[in-house]
Every structure is written in C-alpha cells, then in structure tokens.
C-alpha cells in the first residue's frame, strides 16, 4: 500500500509538471517545439490550470487511495465550501475537496481548485477549527495562484525531460510501479520544487487562511494551535509529519500566525456533531482489523462506560464492519432517536438496514429528511440505493435525475444513476451516464464506446443527440492529443 501510494504521489507531481510545461509543445510540429530553458508558465491561464487539475484528478479518481465514502466526502466538501464562501477571492472559481486514504498528516492543493487531505490529518485534528484551518490554508494557495507562480519560475526543463514525464504518467495508469520508476528516472530534482512553497507563499497563505477562518465563524487561534501540535508531535519521531515537509514551519511562523489571529474577534466555536462523527468514522475504518481496539470498546459498552457520542458511533461502525448488524442497528437507532435531524447517523442507520434488507423500515425516515433538505447528496445517494434494493429502479432514477445538474462531476452519483437507468430499461441514457462517469475517471477509450452506443440508440430526450455528439467530439479530441504526446515521446527517444 505504501509503495503504491508513493507511486500516486509521483504521478501527481509529474502530471503537474508535464501537463503544464507540455502546453507549449502541444499540437505543434517539431520545428515549433519550445527551446530548452524556455519558460512555459507565461501561457498558464486559469483555464489551462483547470485542464491540468482535471487531468490529475482523473488519475486520482481511478486510484485505490481516493476515499469514496459519501459521508466523509460530503462533510469535507461542505466544510471546504464554507471557507470558500468566506473568501471573496475564491468566488467564481470551482473548488473540489477530496480525501486520500493515508495515515500520514498532510494536505495539498492541485491546479484547478482541487484540494486533498489525508485521513491522518482528520484524525490528528483536535477540533473542527483546526481541520478548517488546514483547508483554508490550501484554499489560499489556490486563490493566490501559488502553484502557477512556482511553475512559471521553474520552466527550465528540456523537451526530452517533459516528454519522458508524459510517458511515465501514461505508463503509470497501467502499471504504478513502472510509472513510478519512469518518473524517478526523468524527474528526480524537479518534483520537490513543485510542492515546496516559498516562505512568502506560506506567509501569504497563513494571512489569508486566518482571515478566512474567522470570517467563516471558526476560531482563528486554532490555526496556530494545530501547527504547534504538529511541531510538538514531530519531536518524538525520527521524521516530522509530512505536512511539515511540504509546508515548512518555524517558531517565528507560529508566533506570527498566533499574533495575526489576535487581530480577529475571539470565537468560541464548538466542533459540530458531524465533525465528531466523521472523525470517529474515519478512525473506525482504520481500526477495522484491530481486534484489541474492538474488544476495548465492546467491554466499555458492556460496562456502561461508552459515554461519548463519538465512541458509541465508532463502536456501531465497527460492529457493522464485522457484520454484527443487529447490535449495530440497536446503537444507531438509539443515537438517531436522540439526534433525529442528524444526517450522518441516519445514513449509517440506512447502511446497516440495507445490509439486512429492511428497506421499508428505513425509507420513510430518509424521505422525511429529504423533504427537509432536498439537496443533500448523501441522502439522495442512500435513498436511491434503498429504492434499487426494493427493485424500484424508476423511483431511484427519478430521484437522482432531479439533481443531475449539481452532481454532474460526482462519480459515485453517476455510477448509481447508471445502475438505476439500466434496471429501469433506459439503455441509451445508461450508456450516456456511464460515458460521463468514465470520462471523470480518465478512461477515454471506454467512455468513447459508451457515447457511441448512446448516440446510435433512440432516446426519449429530444436534446440527447446534440449533447452526446458534443461529448463524443470532446473525447475524440482528447484521444488525438494523447496519441500526439505518445508520438512526440517516441520521436524524442529516437
């Protein structure tokens, strides 16, 4: 797992380099290729930055490391967008927050507003404000275009190196270890310069991040508190937390952040119930195979000492992971009865009821909550799953299509919709949705096949032909560009 995760990191870094620096070379003849040492960053517009981010994110979506849990993903998205709404510079830009399954403590921003955090950072945080402070810091890196600035300054790579990196990325989509070796061979020194922000970048992100944190209603002082916690923790290990390697920290920086936080009103922010539950869910997933941990919680439960909500929920999740559904249901039903509007508890209860085929029992509770919050993506997802489990594909499809526009970039939503359309007998629509899903995952060839199948079948949608043809044209263009990159790589090797 660790070896493969290293491969993913190298793929991400090489993608950033090769797609950015490759823009100047793209679709040009050999005579028009950039000169050695020519900076390509001067042509890096926000639109091109978005394309780079989309390419990298497609690779991440296809990896095993991306957390696909709707509850965790939805919570991080909501927390991230709460911070975005508090930053005027972020408005008008598209942001997407995601989680990587990795115990190390780290967070990173990619081109195009994609911001990732490790599960280890969630569990290491002591409050919601601390977690929000890291997301806010990464949002600031995006709004201030720090990554673009770094790329503009480091455009000193030769064409063979750029083409070698492209080849490594292509190879890595089929064989992570081969891709990792290729990246290491072609890009050794360039990688770290991409992710290491300058001192000025860090200071600017700290300043904007603290202001964002306060404006969003969090405790600005927790930004410095979290840095201090990380620095203290690093004293007892041979290697400091990974976030401190990519975001260098000093006592002066902590002091400056704390001093800046004092300029804002003191906010006694209480961590939300969702934060406590999501942190417990992440921890439970990391402890699935830890028998001693499970036994300790079981004994505390039997002795009536499992008092905290997060501990009770975590125990219920561990019971569920061991297929002990009756015991898990009893705890979750009690917790939901005590907190009848909490969607995290309802979602978890629905999961365990689904496992027992108790569809008719959970459906009224889900529909009641959906009436109160009709746009809740996690409730839409689980309710559609219940409908499918009841062999009511038409109701699942109808519910999902109601929110198609806001979920067009949500792979798990598209996957469920394709299932519903297939079971409802709407085959052309299923092919179109599957094509969109595969497009998000970067599987261009298979996406092309599904769009072609959708185009050649009759649909009830009068606009379907025009829409599908446009998507098919986009995929074909991207495939041509991919072939051109491979051709350029072969020429450079020969």
52/346 Cα distance (integer angstroms): 38
Tokens of 2: 């660790």
Q: Which residues contact 298 (CB under 8 A, 6 or more apart)?
A: 315
Give DSSP secondary structure letters for 287-302: TTT-HHHHHHHHHHHH
Ramachandran angles phi, psi of 198, nearest 5°: -70, 165
Tokens of 185: 């061979």
Which of 128, 206, 429, 488 is an active site residue? 206
Which residue(s) pair with 116 in the sheet? Answer: 98, 108
Tokens of 335: 């917790």
465/458 Cα distance (integer angstroms): 9
- State the DSSP code for 461: -
Tokens of 433: 């949705």
For 304, counting Cβ atoms within 10 Å of its Cβ (0-12 exposed, 13-18 middle, 19+ buried), the class is exposed
Residue (of 115, 126, 151, 142) closest to 41 by Cα position: 151
Long-range contacts of 324-332 (CB under 8 A, 24+ apart): 325/352, 325/355, 325/356, 326/356, 328/352, 329/353, 329/356
- State the DSSP code for 116: E
For 338, counting Cβ atoms within 10 Å of its Cβ (0-12 exposed, 13-18 middle, 19+ buried), the class is exposed
175 labelled catalytic: no
Alpha helices for 424-463 (secondary structure H):
427-440, 444-455
Which of 49, 138, 242, 432 is an active site residue? 138
138 labelled catalytic: yes
Long-range contacts of 384-391 (CB under 8 A, 24+ apart): 384/416, 384/417, 384/420, 385/350, 385/354, 385/416, 386/350, 386/354, 386/359, 386/362, 387/363, 387/420, 388/416, 388/419, 388/420, 388/423, 389/354, 389/357, 389/359, 390/359, 390/360, 390/363, 391/423
Q: What residues are annotated to the active site? A: 138, 206
């Amino acid at each position: 797992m660790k070896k493969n995760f290293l491969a993913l990191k190298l793929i991400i870094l090489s993608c950033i380099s090769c797609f950015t620096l490759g823009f100047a070379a793209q679709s040009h003849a050999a005579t028009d290729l950039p000169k050695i040492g020519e900076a390509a960053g001067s042509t890096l517009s926000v639109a091109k930055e978005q394309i780079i981010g989309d390419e990298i994110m497609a690779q991440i979506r296809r990896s095993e490391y991306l957390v696909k849990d709707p509850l965790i993903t939805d919570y991080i998205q909501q927390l991230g967008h709460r911070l975005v709404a508090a930053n005027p510079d972020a408005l008008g830009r598209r942001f997407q927050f995601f989680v990587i399954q990795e115990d190390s403590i780290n967070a990173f921003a990619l081109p195009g507003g994609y911001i990732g955090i490790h599960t280890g950072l969630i569990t290491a945080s002591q409050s919601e404000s601390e977690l929000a402070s890291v997301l806010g810091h990464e949002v600031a890196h995006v709004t201030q275009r720090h990554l673009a600035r770094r790329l503009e300054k480091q455009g000193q790579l030769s064409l063979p190196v750029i083409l070698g990196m492209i080849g490594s990325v292509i190879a890595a989509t089929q064989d992570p270890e081969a891709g990792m070796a290729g990246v290491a061979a072609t890009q050794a020194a360039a990688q770290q310069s991409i992710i290491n922000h300058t001192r000025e970048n860090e200071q600017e992100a700290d300043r904007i991040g603290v202001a964002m944190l306060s404006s969003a209603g969090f405790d600005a002082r927790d930004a410095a508190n979290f840095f201090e916690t990380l620095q203290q923790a690093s004293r007892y290990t041979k290697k400091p937390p990974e976030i401190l390697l990519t975001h260098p920290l000093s006592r002066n920086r902590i002091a400056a952040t704390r001093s800046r936080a004092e300029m804002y009103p003191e906010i006694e922010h209480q961590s939300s119930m969702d934060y406590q539950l999501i942190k417990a869910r992440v921890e439970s997933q990391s402890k699935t195979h830890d028998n001693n941990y499970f036994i300790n919680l079981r004994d505390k439960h039997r002795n009536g000492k499992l008092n905290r909500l997060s501990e009770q929920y975590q125990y219920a999740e561990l019971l569920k992971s061991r297929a002990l559904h009756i015991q898990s249901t009893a705890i979750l039903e009690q917790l939901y009865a005590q907190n009848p509007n909490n969607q995290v508890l309802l979602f978890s209860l629905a999961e365990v009821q689904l496992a027992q085929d108790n569809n008719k029992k959970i459906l009224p509770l889900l529909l009641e909550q959906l009436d109160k919050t009709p746009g809740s993506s996690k409730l839409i997802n689980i309710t559609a799953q219940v409908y499918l489990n009841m062999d009511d594909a038409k109701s699942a499809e109808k519910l999902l299509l109601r929110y198609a526009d806001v979920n067009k970039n949500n792979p798990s939503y598209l996957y469920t919709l394709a299932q519903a359309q297939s079971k409802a007998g709407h085959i052309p629509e299923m092919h179109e949705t599957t094509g969109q899903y595969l497009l998000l995952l970067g599987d261009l060839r298979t996406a092309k096949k599904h769009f072609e199948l959708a185009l050649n079948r009759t649909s009830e949608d009068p606009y379907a032909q025009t829409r599908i043809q446009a998507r098919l044209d986009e995929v074909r263009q991207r495939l041509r560009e991919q072939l051109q990159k491979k051709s350029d790589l072969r020429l450079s090797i020969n």
